[in-house]
Amino acid sequence: MTGNPTLLTIAGAPWADYALLDSGDGQKLERYGDFRIIRPEPQAMWAPATGKWAADARFIPGSDADGGGRWDIVRPLPPEGWPMAWDDVRFNAELTPFRHLGFFPDMAPVWTWLRGEVAGMAQPKFLNLFGYTGVGSLAMAARGAEVVHVDASKKSVTAARANAALSGLADAPIRWLVDDAVKFVEREGRRARRYDAILLDPPKYGRGPDGEIWQLETDLPRLIAALVPLLDAQSRALFLTVYAVRMSAIALHNLLAEALAPLGGRVEAGELGVVEEARGLTLPTAIWARWSRR
């Protein structure tokens, strides 16, 4: 698992309820169910494929360094959000103050990959850290996994529970925890708990429920080290995604390769993106690294 990695691109294709329609001039036009949304996208440095975009809502970024802003509602949208589906999972989309819509559509191929890694296992144990509104957790629970979902935001966990109900998974074996990810993982290690697959999608900066500070560059190595005891010879996979940071996928590869070397298997890394409908371009969204037993 050492040496120079060959970086891979994982690009999500459109599905029935979501598509990246066009991108360019620092923006992207997406379809969420029946609604068309324009959001800022600094990496879309090319010209858009089509002319003037028609949309139901547009996010107007603020001037503050924290990335604030506001929504310009062109046509009325349901204030409580609207139902969406990915494969056999149902969830709610809505305009949030953070410019996204309550889930991350570029994660769809990650959910598919994780499902494939644990295929054939009887009720695999799955840990979703920084689980947000739970679509990844539900993607695994819908295929029979026993899930532990951890997020520092009580509001996000409440939304995840509501999404579970929409998916008919309210009674599925899912533990919904409002907790600090690092503290939780360190406690799990002391309890000698283990998991078959782990997904972590940490933010650049965040706070735990008791005011704990999370800073990606300094805290990610500690978190990865704490995760190692939760994996064993029967564990199958770990997937790490990182957004909005000045960091290389090679750095993530090297971090996982060093930490997980005793487990054998394979570590890969690369970029995550979404395929645009208009021209087939891949719009990059994140970097990632993953470990697989196979």
Q: Which of 81-95, 148-162, 241-255 has the lowest mean pLDDT?
A: 241-255
- C-alpha span between 199 and 124 (Å, rounded): 13
Residue 209 or 67, more confident: 209
| Domains, the chain | 8-17+104-292 (3.40.50.150)
pLDDT digit string, tens, across residues 70-128: 999 999 999 899 999 999 999 999 999 989 999 999 999 999 999 999 999 999 999 99
pLDDT digit string, tens, across residues 197-206: 999 999 998 8
Global pTM value: 0.95
Amino acid letter, residue 253:
H
> Confidence class of residue 64 from pLDDT cuts 50, 70 and 90?
low
> Confidence class of residue 21 from pLDDT cuts 50, 70 and 90?
very high
The helix-helix angle for 181-190 and 216-227 (nearest 10°) equals: 20
pLDDT digit string, tens, across residues 165-211: 999 999 999 999 999 999 999 999 999 999 999 999 999 988 899 88
Cβ(93)–Cβ(81) under 8 Å? yes
- C-alpha span between 75 and 77 (Å, rounded): 6
- C-alpha span between 288 and 115 (Å, rounded): 17
pLDDT at residue 52, rounded to an integer: 87
Helices (H), 11-153: 108-117, 135-141
> Confidence class of residue 3 from pLDDT cuts 50, 70 and 90?
low
